Amino acid sequence: MISMTGYGKGTAESEGKKITVELKSVNHRFLDLSVKIPKTMNFAEETARKILQQSFSRGHIDVYLTYENNGASDYDLFVNEGLADEYVRTAAYLADKYGIENDFTVSSLMKTADVITPSEKEQSEQAVAALIKDALEVAVEKLQEMRAKEGFALKNDLVEKADSVGVLLELVKQRAPEVVKNYRAKIEERITEALAGVDIDEARLINEVAFFADKACIDEETARLTAHIDNFYAILESDEPVGRKLDFLVQEMNREVNTIGSKSNDIVITNYVVNMKSEIEKIREQVQNVE
């Protein structure tokens, strides 16, 4: 079982270039990726998304990427010599025509629009893309390790809570036959008091008790709930993502417990039902963190 909560960090370095990728994951119904990378790294976003989509099936994952370059520049500077010639010629012409000092310097020329254009080196982009992939794969591995560790603890907690529901269910099963017996005893007592010694119509009493027994019967509900609990344990052992399956199963467990509570006319079973609902609600909350 895998949790959706975790953190992973990876770094990759080459020739003074360093990429750091951090992944932070929390629960979500589907796989939701939020990629935060420098604009100059946008070329790698699609690759990053594909790697994450292949590695995870559920969870909101924040992706943070930082880039450091302590080596050679990633850019070449292109000089538009024709345009520069025109600016220099125009500056000289204006100075001569109007008899003013020509203060058009190299710095001025370099600041002039479109004279110098930076262009990213093709080989640099490829090298950075490879670093991003390496760093991301390390971060994914770390995140998977943490999610697996969290999932192991989560599984143990879910087993413990399911065990509690199972124990309470057994108590309900043991108590259920006593409910009918107690109802018959109460009916006989009331009739005896009301009729003051008159013989009881045994056939009518049997019919009344049978009607109550049929109305209050919870055998089907307890059988289905037992099957749901067994299925819950089986799903927990699966190596595949099971969050959605568990979420559906918990809803079914809760439905059966609600029905048991509504059909039962016994304070003892009602107390068991309240405790089962409490445990199932705890299970439901935990299942939201399962991938």
Closest listed residue to residue 143, CA positions, set 289, 22, 8: 8
pLDDT digits (tens, 9 = 90+) for 238-252: 988 999 999 999 999
State the average pLDDT over residues 38-60.
91
The model's pLDDT over 184-211, given as tens digits with 9 standing for 90+, comes to: 556 555 555 555 555 555 666 566 555 5
For the chain, the average pLDDT equals: 86
Q: What are the φ/ψ torsions at residue 272 (nearest 5 degrees)?
A: -60, -40
Give the per-residue pLDDT at 126.
81
Tokens of 284: 């439901």
In angstroms, the Cα distances linking 237 to 78, 132, 290 are: 61, 35, 13
Residue 35: enclosing H or E segment and its boundaries?
strand 31-36
pLDDT for position 177: 81
pLDDT of residue 223: 95
Distances (CA, A) of 251 to 11, 57, 259: 42, 22, 13
Report the first-to-last Cα separation within the chain, whole angstroms. Answer: 8
